[in-house]
Amino acid sequence: MLQRIQTIYLILAAGVSAGLIFVFPLWETKEGFIVYAFEEVLYLSLFLGSAILSLIAIFMFKKRKLQFVLGRLNIILNFFLLGFFVYQSLNVSGETTVSEKGIGMFLPIISIVFLALANKAIKKDEDLVKSVDRLR
């Protein structure tokens, strides 16, 4: 069923991963050049991969276990993305390249929160179905 609460969480996670990368910058260099996620191929592919996984998980509503696994894979993907951002921000010593961090570096955290809420709702649905099957 597409009207479940996990669908809303997954749509929000996909929106954060695919839409907000065009709005919020990742960082600003010392020269004043603003870097967005869609300008870097690695970051763009990871963000779009996260959004695609969220959209695929929405349409797996009849297979709740697979939907749950896709949510977990998406959380792992966002942790890798967050790790790349932390590495990028800590790798440069003396602030030679990255001068000011942007709000875009925190987008994977927001996406992880929505995905965790979606997985919690999926687990709740699965437990409800299991309890009804026990009564039969």
Across 82-92, average pLDDT: 80
Q: How confident is the model at residue 95 (pLDDT cuts 50, 70, 90)?
A: low
Q: How confident is the model at residue 94 (pLDDT cuts 50, 70, 90)?
A: low
Q: What is the pLDDT of residues 36-60, one digit of tens each?
A: 888 889 889 999 999 999 999 999 8
Entry pTM: 0.86
CB atoms within 10 A of CB 106: 14
Tokens matching residue 16? 């954060």
Q: Is residue 97 over pLDDT 80? A: no
How many helices (H) does the chain have, and how many strands (E)? 4, 3
Percent pLDDT > 70 in the chain is 90
DSSP structure string for 49-93: HHHHHHHHHHTTTT-HHHHHHHHHHHHHHHHHHHHHHHHHHHHST
Average per-residue pLDDT in the chain? 85
Q: What gap in Å lies between CA 24 and CA 8, rounded to an integer?
A: 22
Spatial neighbors of 89 by CB under 8 A, at least 6 apart, are 27, 98, 101, 105
* pLDDT at residue 60, as a whole number: 86
